[in-house]
Every structure is written in structure tokens, then in C-alpha cells.
């Protein structure tokens, strides 16, 4: 059992006031808050070992390089990648997905197919549309049912030898639905397609095992898992990363440069051109240590309680509809109240110190499916409490009365 008050004391922002009220932070899907150890580690890097990496013989450069590479190995173990060179530092999920979609431009032929799901964040739709425009490949979409679950029988019928890559999120940011990605990966592999999993919303809640999933790529952001903004990881199977061309050219990603020909560095450096977010990469390792200390089993237990409590309490409100009612859900609730615009509720409860996200959550196709402009999304983290949820429910009731 987690001692929630002790956990909350790790996060200085949770004692802040917003609009004169104690902050209730339910926008964890957008970004998580940061524990003091992460904040301190960022300062410590700049105070003690700041230097550029992989290039100097001097001591500080060695120290910074070692810390960066130790963090890569931490991340490797965290996701159970076979090799540390399969773990690329990126600026976030968006960067990771674009790295892969750009690489596939050299692989796809006109008429090949790219399969995305209806549940995707725009950052896992638009790069693939751009790729299809460039190559003449065709974008196909896996549909969802009224509960916001992917229809697996339809997925099976969309798969064929024309499918070159399937790209799907592990957990939907807009609805919180957990997708059956392991099963989907096996089915894609059966027709010879590669699979990218967008793990942006999964990594705050679970420890992905990329070898068990057998995914070809797994992209995520550091800032949603207690790490710094501008950090992320792209895992890629060694054989795929060797096959794809580099994404960006520049320093650090080369073996030898002449005006006639440049040869590229080995993995992972081939995909890491330029000076990276060194502090961020190191501190992402600190964030992973912190989460593992809290324990993903504990995190899941606490978040399950919060999800059940919030679902029950919110459904007490007349005219409230929750979107995404599948069996497998993370601690995210997307809802609307009949006849009231989500933005209006969000604005009123913000005045009461409660942070939720309103709008389409960068997932417009889902909103189009439900024929709504957007939702109110409350996304919970292990540091949230039932009491905070009760306050939100009262605030939503108040807003409803004001707006009806």
C-alpha cells in the first residue's frame, strides 16, 4: 500500500495554490508533475558535470557521457530491450514517430498500405499521412465501437500482404482505453508488417516489455512519466534500425565525412545527430528510478481505485456521459454533460483550482466518431486522491448548475 501523503510530499507543486485554491492536478495525460529528486537531478547536472558528450577527452565530458549512457542502459532495462543501442534518445513521442515514418519513405512503394487506428493522437496520424503523400502508399484506419474499443475483427480484415506498417497506441490519450497490442502485433507480423506502438500514455502506468510484446518500435515521452519535457525514447529492433536511413544529418551521427561520401555511425548514434538534451536524458533515468521505487504494482492499484471512484461519483451527475467504457482502461475519464460545452465546465472548475483538459485532446477523429466538439478529460496519477476526486465532482455539479 502506498502512503499517498508521503508520495505527495515528493511533488512540491502539489502544495501550490492556483487561483487562490489548493491545486488539484488532473491533467496528467498532458504532462505529469515532477518529484523533487527529478528537479534536483536537473540542477545537479548543470552545477556539477555540464559538458558536451561523446566528444571531449576532458574529465567533465567523460562524466557527462557516462551519466548519459548509464541512463540509456537504465531505460533499456526498464523496457526490457535486448541491446542498449536499440534505445534512442529523442525529444519525445512525436520525434520518435517522425523518425520512423521518415525512414519508411525509403521502404514504401505506391499501393503499399499503412494501418493506423481511429484512436490515435494526431502525432500518430499526421506523420503517416505525410509519408503516404510522399510515397503513394495508402492509409487505412482500424475502426472503433461505441465503447471506444478497436474492432479486432475489422483489424484482421484490413491486414494483408500490402500492409507494411501498423501503428497504434498502447493506451488512448483521449479515452484511456488500453489496446490489445500484443495480440495485434502478432497478427501484423503474420502478414509481414512491422508495428510501431505509441506508448506515450502507457509508460506512466505500466512497464512495457518490448521483447514480450515483440513490437518493432515503441515510442514514448519522458515528461508524462515524471521526467523532464523535451525527452523521450524510441525503441527499435536492431534489424529495423539498421535498415532505416538516418533521420537527421549532422555531427555525432557520422563515421567519416568527405565531400564525396559520408559514412554513418553505428547504432544508436546514427539516429542521434547534434547535441542532445543531455541533462534531460540523464534525468529521465532518475525519473524511471523514482517510478520503480514507488513500484508499478502500487501505481496500478492506486490508479485503479481512483478510476473506479471517479467513475462511480461522476455517474451520479444527471446527463453526464463517459466516453470510452471498455473493460481495459487506464486512469483517464473523458466525459460531457448534456447541453453544456466542455470548455465552459473546464473554465469554471479551473477557477476552483482544478486542472483538467478540455477539447479534442489532439484526437479529432475520435470526437468526430462521437459527433462531439470535445470532452472534459480528468487523467489521474498515483499521487492523486479520492478526496480530490470528490472535490472535482462537487465542482462539476456547481458548474452544471451555473450553466444550465
Closest to 323 measured CA to CA, from 199, 145, 122: 145
Q: Which is nearer to ligand 7TS, 242 or 347 (CB)?
A: 347
Q: Among 132, 226, 362, 371, which one carries the catalytic annotation?
A: 362
Rounded to whole angstroms, the Cα distance separating 387 from 141 reads 40
102 binding ligand 7TS? (CB under 6 A):
no
How does 347-369 read in b/e, with b if 16+ C-beta sit within 10 Å?
ebbbebbbbbbbbbbbbebbbeb
124 binding ligand 7TS? (CB under 6 A):
yes
Which distant-in-sequence residues (6+ apart) come within 8 Å of 220 by Cβ? 93, 96, 198, 199, 200, 202, 203, 208, 232, 233
Q: Which is nearer to ligand 7TS, 162 or 170 (CB)?
A: 170
Select the span of 43-51, 76-84, 86-94, 141-149 touching ligand 7TS (CB under 6 A): 86-94
Residue 201: CB minimum distance to ligand 7TS, A: 5
234 binding ligand 7TS? (CB under 6 A):
no
Residue 236: CB minimum distance to ligand 7TS, A: 17
10 binding ligand 7TS? (CB under 6 A):
no
Q: DSSP letter at 178? A: B
Q: Starting at the earlier edge strand, list the strands of the sheet with 375-379.
A: 320-323, 332-337, 375-379, 357-359
81 binding ligand 7TS? (CB under 6 A):
no
Where does 20-64 show beta strands of DSSP type E? 21-22, 24-25
The pair phi, psi for residue 322, each rounded to 5°, is -100, 135
State CA 366 to chain mean position distance: 17
93 binding ligand 7TS? (CB under 6 A):
yes
Strand partners, 166: 115, 195
121 binding ligand 7TS? (CB under 6 A):
yes
98 binding ligand 7TS? (CB under 6 A):
no
201 binding ligand 7TS? (CB under 6 A):
yes
Residue 269: count of CB within 10 angstroms of its CB? 17
Residue 362: CB minimum distance to ligand 7TS, A: 6
329 binding ligand 7TS? (CB under 6 A):
no
Q: Among 33, 71, 98, 221, which residue sits at the site for ligand 7TS (rule: CB under 6 A)?
A: 221
- Helix axes of 126-135 and 93-103: crossing angle, nearest 10 degrees: 10
Mark 30-49 with x for binding to ligand 7TS (rule: CB under 6 A) and - for no binding. x-------------------
Q: Cα 273–277–283 angle (5° rounding)?
A: 135
- Asked if residue 348 lies in contact with residue 340, where contact means CB atoms within 8 angstroms, the answer is no
* Helix (DSSP H) and strand (DSSP E) numbers for the chain: 14, 17
101 binding ligand 7TS? (CB under 6 A):
no
Q: Among residue numbers 139 through 178, which ones bind ligand 7TS (CB under 6 A)?
A: 169, 173
Q: Which residue is nearest to ligand 7TS (CB)?
A: 173
Q: Which is nearer to ligand 7TS, 63 or 362 (CB)?
A: 362
Select the span of 143-151, 196-204, 241-249, 335-343 touching ligand 7TS (CB under 6 A): 196-204
Catalytic (active site) residue 362:
yes
Residue 346: CB minimum distance to ligand 7TS, A: 13
358 binding ligand 7TS? (CB under 6 A):
no
Rounded to whole angstroms, the Cα distance separating 323 from 366 reads 10
29 binding ligand 7TS? (CB under 6 A):
yes
Residues near ligand 7TS (CB under 6 A), total: 17
CA distances, 317 to each of 320, 331, 337, 372 (Å): 6, 19, 8, 19
Closest to 370 measured CA to CA, from 214, 175, 235, 236: 175
| Residues near ligand 7TS (CB under 6 A) | 29-30, 92-94, 121, 123-124, 169, 173, 198, 200-201, 221, 357, 361-362
Q: Which amino acids are annotated catalytic? A: 362
Amino acid at each position: 500500500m502506498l502512503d499517498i501523503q508521503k508520495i505527495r510530499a515528493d511533488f512540491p507543486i502539489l502544495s501550490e495554490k492556483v487561483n487562490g485554491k489548493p491545486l488539484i492536478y488532473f491533467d496528467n495525460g498532458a504532462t505529469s508533475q515532477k518529484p523533487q529528486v527529478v528537479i534536483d537531478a536537473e540542477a545537479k547536472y548543470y552545477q556539477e558535470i555540464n559538458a558536451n558528450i561523446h566528444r571531449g577527452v576532458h574529465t567533465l565530458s567523460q562524466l557527462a557521457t557516462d551519466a548519459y549512457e548509464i541512463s540509456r542502459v537504465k531505460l533499456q532495462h526498464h523496457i526490457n530491450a535486448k541491446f542498449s543501442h536499440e534505445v534512442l534518445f529523442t525529444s519525445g513521442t512525436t520525434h520518435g514517430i517522425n523518425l520512423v515514418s521518415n525512414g519508411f519513405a525509403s521502404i514504401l512503394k505506391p499501393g503499399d498500405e499503412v494501418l493506423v487506428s481511429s484512436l490515435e493522437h494526431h502525432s500518430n496520424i499526421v506523420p503517416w499521412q505525410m509519408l503516404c503523400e510522399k510515397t503513394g502508399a495508402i492509409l487505412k484506419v482500424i475502426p472503433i465501437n461505441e465503447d471506444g474499443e478497436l474492432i479486432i475483427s475489422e483489424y484482421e480484415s484490413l491486414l494483408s500482404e500490402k500492409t507494411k506498417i501498423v501503428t497504434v497506441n498502447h493506451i488512448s490519450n483521449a479515452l484511456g482505453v488500453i489496446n490489445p497490442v500484443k495480440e495485434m502485433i502478432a497478427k501484423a507480423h503474420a502478414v509481414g508488417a512491422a508495428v510501431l506502438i505509441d506508448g506515450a500514455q502507457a509508460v506512466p502506468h505500466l512497464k512495457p516489455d518490448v521483447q514480450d510484446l515483440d513490437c518493432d518500435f515503441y515510442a514514448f515521452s519522458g515528461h508524462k512519466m515524471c521526467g523532464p519535457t523535451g525527452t523521450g525514447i524510441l525503441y527499435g529492433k536492431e534489424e529495423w534500425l539498421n535498415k532505416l536511413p538516418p533521420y537527421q544529418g549532422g555531427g555525432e551521427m557520422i563515421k567519416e565525412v568527405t565531400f564525396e561520401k559520408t559514412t554513418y555511425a553505428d547504432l544508436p548514434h546514427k539516429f542521434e545527430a547534434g547535441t542532445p538534451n543531455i541533462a534531460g536524458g540523464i534525468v529521465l533515468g532518475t525519473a524511471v528510478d523514482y517510478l520503480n521505487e514507488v513500484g508499478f504494482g502500487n501505481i496500478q492499484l492506486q490508479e485503479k481505485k481512483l478510476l473506479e471512484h471517479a467513475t462511480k461519483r461522476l455517474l451520479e451527475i444527471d446527463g453526464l456521459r463517459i466516453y470510452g467504457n471498455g473493460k481495459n482502461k487506464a486512469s483517464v475519464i473523458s466525459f460531457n454533460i448534456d447541453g453544456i460545452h466542455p470548455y465552459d465546465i473546464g473554465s469554471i472548475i479551473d477557477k476552483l483550482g482544478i486542472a483538467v483538459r478540455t477539447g479534442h485532446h489532439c484526437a479529432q477523429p475520435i470526437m468526430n466518431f462521437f459527433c462531439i466538439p470535445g470532452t472534459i478529460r480528468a487523467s489521474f496519477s498515483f499521487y492523486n486522491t479520492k478526496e480530490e476526486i470528490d472535490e472535482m465532482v462537487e465542482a462539476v455539479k456547481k458548474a452544471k448548475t451555473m450553466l444550465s
